[in-house]
């Protein structure tokens, strides 16, 4: 009897680690995958939304990476969801497909997403995309301009090329306001597409664009240098969103998208070179060098803790309120919008559940906001925070307070 008791105790002790240790992928996603229900698949098929169509913006670093990885690694298929990903050149082009409901899942920057809200299109953001994408004022290497302040009093007026109606214009308009620069007097704004901006043609004193254009001009073409950036004036972010009908009728499918988004984020963190290789195979990105693609992966997918994907509705609503006001004042919105409108267009429940599966704590604010930060997300200019110009090394993760249960990544185990 005694021998049997000892044997039973030994068996229990041996089995405990095996039972307690949850199986997961090398990049930290728990196994096995949760499959969506047959009922949800039937609903989508009956609606004509099978496969689920996903629209993303190929030239946008960070957005393209996570969507390409979700697609090429079959992360939705593993959960029982058939998808079709299609790349588009711009946010407005994506909006057209979402408004018509031809696409059910979309990716967009703060300007296109605001347009959807303005039109009362039933969408909800479930994740944040590549926050703090660099927008910069780039001037020729031999320019006398050293900072944006040097534009004040320009005679003749300096000509600045940018895409009218874009986030680049908002940044530059806000920067002019803060620095006392007057459009039509100190500077002349000229509508110019990114491809033309990259050449910095004669007669142009500077251009305002978003990455990867500034990075390519500075590091590859070496035909420009950055004298100002978006970071004091706007915390730019993108949204990964779904149509409300999916939340109402197939929430398990929406959860699958949230989970796959987080899993792709982890895969990219573990395999940045492979992620850059997948990007290079996208038809719209074949003209970009592998060096630039990898640099963009490091800057906009891996710089921050992976918890940056959490859609903090209140925080981002405050950030976007000044954009709403500016767009309305410019008569580019049909009605005034506030931070509350943004908050109502975010559904945090899905990413919260994703974090629960991973054993991650939901941070109180995005990880690029340092401890003791004295700024207010609703007021510019902002005190410094972590971004792609002042920081090159990826934020360590996990740190104390990031976990609520044991988690593994890259073959290493972590405890809360």
Give me the DSSP letters along 153-222: T-SSPEEEEE-TTSHHHHHHHHHHHHHT--BTTTEEEEE--HHHHHT--TT--EEEEETTHHHIIIIII-
**What structural domains and CATH numbers belong to the chain?**
38-132+236-414 (3.40.190.10), 135-229 (3.40.190.10)
Name the pairing type of β-strands 407-409 and 412-414: antiparallel
**pLDDT on residue 287:** 87
Name the pairing type of β-strands 238-243 and 105-109: antiparallel
**pLDDT on residue 354:** 98
Burial 105-132 (b: 16+ CB within 10 A, else e): bbbbbbbbbbbbbbeebebbbbbbbbbb
Q: Residues 46-79: pLDDT tens digits? A: 999 999 999 998 878 888 999 999 999 999 999 9
Q: Residues 256-279: pLDDT tens digits? A: 999 999 999 999 999 999 999 999
What average pLDDT does the segment 243-249 reach? 98
pTM, entire model: 0.92
Q: Residues 155-188: pLDDT tens digits? A: 999 999 999 888 999 999 999 999 999 999 999 9
Distance CA 411, CA 344 (A): 40
Give the residues across from 161 on adjacent strands: 190, 207
Instruction: Report the share of the chain in percent with pLDDT over 70.
Output: 95
Distance CA 286, CA 278 (A): 10
Nearest to 173 by CA among 155, 224, 374, 184: 184
Please report where in the chains the tokens 């530059």 appear, as a residue.
Answer: 172
Name the pairing type of β-strands 105-109 and 52-57: parallel
Q: Mean pLDDT over all residues of the chain?
A: 93
What average pLDDT does the segment 324-333 reach? 93
Residue 11: pLDDT over 80: no
**pLDDT on residue 166:** 87
Q: Residues 357-370: pLDDT tens digits? A: 999 999 999 999 99
CB atoms within 10 A of CB 370: 12
Q: Residues 292-308: pLDDT tens digits? A: 999 999 999 999 999 99
Q: Residues 112-155: pLDDT tens digits? A: 999 999 999 999 999 999 999 999 999 999 999 999 999 999 99
Residue 16: pLDDT over 50: no
pLDDT band, very low/low/confident/very high, at 91 (cuts 50, 70, 90): confident
Residue 14: pLDDT over 90: no
pLDDT band, very low/low/confident/very high, at 22 (cuts 50, 70, 90): low
């Amino acid at each position: 009897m005694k021998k049997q008791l000892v044997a039973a105790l030994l068996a229990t002790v041996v089995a405990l680690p095996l039972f307690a240790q949850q199986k997961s992928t090398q990049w930290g996603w728990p196994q096995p995958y949760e499959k969506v229900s047959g009922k949800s698949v039937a609903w989508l098929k009956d609606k004509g939304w099978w496969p689920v169509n996903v629209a993303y913006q190929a030239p946008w670093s960070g957005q393209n990476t996570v969507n390409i990885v979700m697609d090429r690694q079959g992360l939705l298929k593993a959960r029982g969801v058939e998808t079709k990903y299609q790349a588009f050149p711009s946010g407005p082009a994506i909006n057209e497909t979402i408004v018509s409901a031809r696409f059910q899942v979309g990716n967009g920057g703060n300007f296109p997403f605001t347009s959807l809200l303005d039109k009362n299109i039933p969408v909800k953001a479930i994740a944040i995309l590549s926050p703090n994408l660099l927008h910069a004022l780039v001037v020729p290497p031999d320019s006398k301009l050293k900072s944006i302040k040097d534009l004040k009093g320009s005679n003749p007026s300096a000509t600045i090329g940018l895409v009218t109606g874009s986030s680049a214009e908002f940044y530059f308009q806000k920067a002019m306001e803060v620095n006392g620069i007057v459009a039509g007097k100190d500077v002349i704004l000229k509508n110019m597409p990114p491809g033309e901006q990259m050449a910095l043609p004669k007669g142009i004193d500077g251009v305002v664009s978003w990455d990867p254009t500034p990075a390519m001009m500075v590091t590859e073409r070496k035909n420009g240098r950055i004298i100002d950036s978006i970071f004091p004036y706007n915390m730019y972010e993108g949204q990964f969103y779904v149509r409300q009908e999916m939340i109402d009728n197939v929430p398990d499918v929406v959860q699958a998208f949230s989970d796959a988004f987080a899993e792709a984020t982890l895969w990219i963190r573990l395999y940045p070179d492979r992620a850059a290789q997948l990007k290079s195979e996208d038809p719209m990105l074949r003209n970009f060098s592998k060096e630039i693609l990898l640099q963009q992966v490091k800057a906009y997918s891996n710089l921050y803790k992976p918890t940056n994907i959490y859609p903090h509705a209140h925080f981002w609503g405050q950030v976007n309120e000044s954009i709403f006001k500016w767009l309305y004042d410019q008569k580019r919105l049909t009605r005034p919008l506030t931070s509350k409108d943004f908050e109502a267009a975010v559904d945090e429940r899905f990413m919260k559940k994703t974090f629960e599966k991973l054993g991650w704590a939901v941070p109180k604010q995005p990880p690029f906001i340092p401890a003791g930060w004295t700024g207010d997300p609703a007021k510019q200019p902002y005190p410094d925070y972590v971004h792609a110009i002042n920081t090159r090394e990826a934020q360590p993760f996990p740190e104390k307070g990031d976990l609520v249960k044991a988690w593994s990544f890259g073959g290493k185990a972590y405890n809360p």
